[in-house]
Structure 1
Amino acid sequence: MRIIEIHTIPDGMPQLSRGRHRSAKTGACFMEFASYLAGESWSDSPQCTDPLLAHLARAVNDQLSDARRSEIAPDIPRVIGLRGDHRLLAPVIAVRAAAGALPVASAGRQQALAGALLAVPELLPAGTATEVRATARTALDAAPHAERWALDHLHRHPVRERDLRRSGCAAAVTLAVTGIAEACVDDAETLLVALLRDAITDVEELLSAPEPPVVVRELVAG
């Protein structure tokens, strides 16, 4: 059970800024602020948060302008304690990110994002994260050309589960955030803020389930 005692950000703390900082005296990014509030050593990769969710938060933090970055500050306490089975959480975060970026990303990035939306959900146990799966399907339905390309590419170049888990999910998150930030849309920053909040909500809901699902692989004798 997660216990979070901090719900607001103390007055007098530094404004959020881009990049890594040696101490609070020079500023703080989203996850450095989280490490401080969690009582951990100053770090942009604190133990209190799932590594891929922290990766997403850092990426969004760095892509937002100084004028808009403060909008995500109230969400910092939400990520404290959001840690569980990374084999389950990472695919959910990656799918959420790719689905959020697919509709607005450039054509080339859409193809790669569609590939992620086809491959990454296969890492999830059956019956889990149904809403996230539906979000992926909706995004793919809106980009049929990208999906067809991705289906053909994955057929010719299958992706191993080990590679997806090792680097594929993080690559999908990076591509998604960059794709949104550089998209030709009127308000990309609002999309980035929404993406981070949606991903946090996904993880909150998974971890607050009565019996959080655990990824178990059965060994089949050859």
Structure 2
Amino acid sequence: MKATTPAVFLPDVVPVLSSGKHRNPRKGACFMEMASYLAGERWSDHPSCTHPLLASLARLVNDSLPDADRPRIVGLIPDVVGITGTDLELDVAIAARAGAAALPIAPLIRQNALAVGLLTCRRLASELPTDRGADLVALCDAALEATPDAHAWALRFGKDGQVSERTFRRQTAPHLVAYAVEGIAVACVDDVPARLVALLSATIHDTARRADRPVAGAPIAGKATAPRVAAPRGFERVRSLVR
């Protein structure tokens, strides 16, 4: 039976997002803690309403953004509610997007490890049906081609991405996502916050598409959409906080 999209409950007053974990809303809230609240779950930064790897990316981006830039992701919080699933494709897509965004700009000391992780993502993506994995293969190829030295190192020492699905889910993908966000956060570029926000936004929408769970503004052509719950008062105000 296909899972239904959970109802989303939005408060009239939204706490200011801050880094780290909080015991309750009075102490503050991070991105995923607010998602747990909106989904009607127990207060937690690891709610069941969101794919674990996507939730990890959201927590890392939340904690890596400066306080002044964190409000830019508030409008994305309702979009992660209900995006989950067990298909390997979701883990591959999330990890590949994070690694590809970081590899070309990350410090050289981090690029080799990122390239090894992307090689693994590329191999797994190439084993997906063509219409599901071709864009991920191209994404990995573009990042690897932009960093030929790291790519060559990964080919020599990365065992060509040969890891088991279990190892990828439990180790490779989470480590790649964490290393990628850290790499972007310390990159010598002028638009680090913008890149972090863009990575989270693009990954949320791509994961929703692959999980057949459309979010507002990102319909899936040719696929039936889950019934949407009427937005409670204050929904659009939450989204408008970053506009």
Tell me the TM-score normalised to structure 2 length.
0.80
Counterparts of 2:122 and 2:162, CA distance in 1: 14
Counterpart of 1:177, as a letter, is V
Deviation per residue, 1:75-110 (Å, 9 max, x gap): 000000001124221111000000000111011211
Which segments of 5 or more consecutive residues in structure 2 lack a partner in the other structure? 213-219, 225-243
Matched, 1:3 2:5: yes
Aligned residue runs from structure 1 range 101-120, under 5 A: 101-120=102-121
Counterpart of 1:49, as a letter, is T
Counterparts of 2:136 and 2:83, CA distance in 1: 17
Counterpart of 1:153, as a letter, is F
Structure 1's 26 and 136: CA in aligned 2 closer, same or farther, altered over 3 A? same
Query: Which position in structure 1 is the counterpart of 2:14?
Result: 13
Is the Cα–Cα contact under 8 Å of residues 50 and 86 in structure 1 kept in the other structure? no
Q: Percent identity?
A: 46
Counterparts of 2:201 and 2:160, CA distance in 1: 35
Task: Using the TM superposition, give the Cα deviation of residue 157 of structure 1 relative to its aligned residue in structure 2, in angstroms.
Answer: 9.1
Counterparts of 1:175 and 1:81, CA distance in 2: 26
Counterparts of 2:145 and 2:167, CA distance in 1: 26
Is the Cα–Cα contact under 8 Å of residues 32 and 44 in structure 1 kept in the other structure? yes
After TM superposition, the structure 1 stretch with the greater mean CA deviation from structure 2, 90-99 or 128-137, is 128-137
Task: Using the TM superposition, give the Cα deviation of residue 156 of structure 1 relative to its aligned residue in structure 2, in angstroms.
Answer: 8.7
Which segments of 5 or more consecutive residues in structure 1 lack a partner in the other structure? 212-222
Task: Using the TM superposition, give the Cα deviation of residue 4 of structure 1 relative to its aligned residue in structure 2, in angstroms.
Answer: 5.7
Counterparts of 2:161 and 2:31, CA distance in 1: 37
Counterparts of 1:198 and 1:2, CA distance in 2: 23
Q: Residue 85 of structure 2 aligns to a residue in which SS?
A: coil
Query: Which position in structure 2 is the counterpart of 1:65?
Result: 66
Counterpart of 1:182, as a letter, is V
Is the Cα–Cα contact under 8 Å of residues 154 and 160 in structure 2 kept in the other structure? no
Counterpart of 1:104, as a letter, is I
Aligned residue runs from structure 1 range 1-222, under 5 A: 2-3=4-5, 5-6=7-8, 10-124=11-125, 125-127=128-130, 128-155=132-159, 159-208=163-212, 210=223
Task: Using the TM superposition, give the Cα deviation of residue 130 of structure 1 relative to its aligned residue in structure 2, in angstroms.
Answer: 2.3
Tell me the TM-score normalised to structure 1 length.
0.88
Structure 1's 156 and 55: CA in aligned 2 closer, same or farther, altered over 3 A? closer
